[in-house]
Structure 1
Amino acid sequence: MRDAEQTRQKILEISADEIHKHGFTATSLSAILQRCKVSKGALYHHFPNKMELGYAVFEEIYTPMFLALWQPAVEVDDPIAGLSEFFKLMSTESSCEEVVCGCPLNNLCQEMSAIDEGFRLRILNMQQQLNQLIAINLQRVSAQLRPDIDFSQVAYFIVASFHGSSSLSKSSQNKELFSKVINELCQYIANLRNG
């Protein structure tokens, strides 16, 4: 990897961390520059402004990370068991701080989708990709599931429930609430099976 590519990647990774900790609006370019140990010129060489940097973080860091997090859960032989195990691990293995800070992608979606069209369109695209990933894999095992399932609708409900549990635990500063909602979500997923 060339130096310029390494610098760009470092800026993206540190920016992603700053945005997760502080939100996009409150993230300071000077804090990013200080942590990256690069000049303002180097930053602007790669990203003409803060908004373009935010878009790149969303597209190149958050979206692939988020989709890669979900893929193993739904691409296993039994996506119902895979999703349940995924959520249970999130509930038990996530630290209280991680749960209370919220999902970085969900935080950014809530902050920026209503105020910037560029973010809104990127968020919509990511949501459609995730919905398709879940729906296709549930449909793959449709013979094992109830016949009345609308796979796209179920996929959106699963994701919405997960994001909702993250938002509730963040606003209440309560990991136990996250775990309770996740347990209900796992019961819902189990009930997708035939009989």
Structure 2
Amino acid sequence: MEQQLKSELTQQVILDKAFDIFYKNGFESTTVAMVMEATKLSKGAFYHHFTNKKELVLAVIAQKVKKRIYDSMILPLYTDGDVPEVLKHVFSNRIRSFSEAEKRSGCPANNLINEIGDTEPAYQIALRKIIDEWKAALVALLEKGKRSGNIKNNINSDAVAIYLIGAFEGVRGLRKLYHNDEIFEDYLSAVNTYITQLS
């Protein structure tokens, strides 16, 4: 039992450091050696947990990137209340919660999508699963809003969900490019107006 716990902790250290390095330096420029140097672990420890860099990336996507999006953008959608206000709250809260480092570095999921999303089917599938879950949560909320009468019945929930995700991911990239918080303020003004028009 103690050995299993130690093994799990070691794996978590590797995932944490790998996520940080991928986020800071990008996927292509990150090597297994860089991750091992950051963890102060041996190569043997790495290869005990991961057979190669691809397996590490898939674990980072599944355990680190997915958790960030789930905790901040998916889970808060499963709440009661006026649907347009829930949407405004979720998107506004996330934008306003970013640290300076997160503003500077952009969205980890979007960074991976742009860098490696079309290079390997396994990466595509892993990243799509996250976006699909996010979209499904938005669609479920919008459909609930239709039933309760605070979202128009004629809106296309799938299209709105894709628009909201795309706009959010896009503004993360623009903020990264411009280094200017006014980008976020303009986004919030526009997205809140758009959400209001859904009701």
> Normalising by the residue count of structure 1, what TM-score does the alignment of the two structures yield?
0.92
CA 1:108–1:174 in 2, change beyond 3 Å: closer, same or farther? same
Inter-partner Cα distance in structure 2 for 1:172 and 1:116: 30
Contact map agreement 1:72 1:82 (CA 8 A) in 2:
no
Structure 2 residue 180 is the aligned partner of structure 1 residue 177: no
CA 1:12–1:97 in 2, change beyond 3 Å: closer, same or farther? closer
Deviations along 1:60-104, whole A, 9 cap, x unmatched?
A: 111122112113431121332122122223333423432121011
Partner of 2:73: 70
Partner of 2:6: 3
Partner of 1:99: 103
Inter-partner Cα distance in structure 1 for 2:49 and 2:197: 48
Contact map agreement 1:16 1:61 (CA 8 A) in 2:
yes
Within the candidate set 46, 49, 55, 1:46 is matched to 49
SS where residue 86 of structure 1 aligns? helix
Structure 2 residue 195 is the aligned partner of structure 1 residue 189: yes
Structure 2 residue 115 is the aligned partner of structure 1 residue 136: no
Q: Give the aligned length.
A: 193
CA 1:175–1:97 in 2, change beyond 3 Å: closer, same or farther? farther
Amino acid at match of 2:157: F
Q: Identity over aligned residues, as a percent?
A: 26
Q: Which runs of 5+ in 1 are unaligned?
A: none
Inter-partner Cα distance in structure 2 for 1:100 and 1:8: 28
CA 1:65–1:97 in 2, change beyond 3 Å: closer, same or farther? closer
Inter-partner Cα distance in structure 1 for 2:84 and 2:108: 25
Inter-partner Cα distance in structure 1 for 2:150 and 2:43: 56
Inter-partner Cα distance in structure 2 for 1:153 and 1:191: 14
Q: Which runs of 5+ in 2 are unaligned?
A: none
Structure 2 residue 153 is the aligned partner of structure 1 residue 124: no
Contact map agreement 2:77 2:90 (CA 8 A) in 1:
no
Contact map agreement 2:84 2:151 (CA 8 A) in 1:
no
SS where residue 144 of structure 1 aligns? coil
Inter-partner Cα distance in structure 1 for 2:93 and 2:11: 33
Inter-partner Cα distance in structure 2 for 1:97 and 1:65: 15
SS where residue 23 of structure 2 aligns? helix
Inter-partner Cα distance in structure 1 for 2:104 and 2:161: 24
Structure 2 residue 153 is the aligned partner of structure 1 residue 150: no
Contact map agreement 1:73 1:86 (CA 8 A) in 2:
yes
Within the candidate set 32, 36, 49, 2:35 is matched to 32
Structure 2 residue 59 is the aligned partner of structure 1 residue 56: yes
Structure 2 residue 20 is the aligned partner of structure 1 residue 14: no
CA RMSD of aligned residues (A): 1.6
SS where residue 118 of structure 2 aligns? coil
Which region of structure 1 is more displaced relative to structure 2, 4-13 or 141-150? 141-150
> Normalising by the residue count of structure 2, what TM-score does the alignment of the two structures yield?
0.90
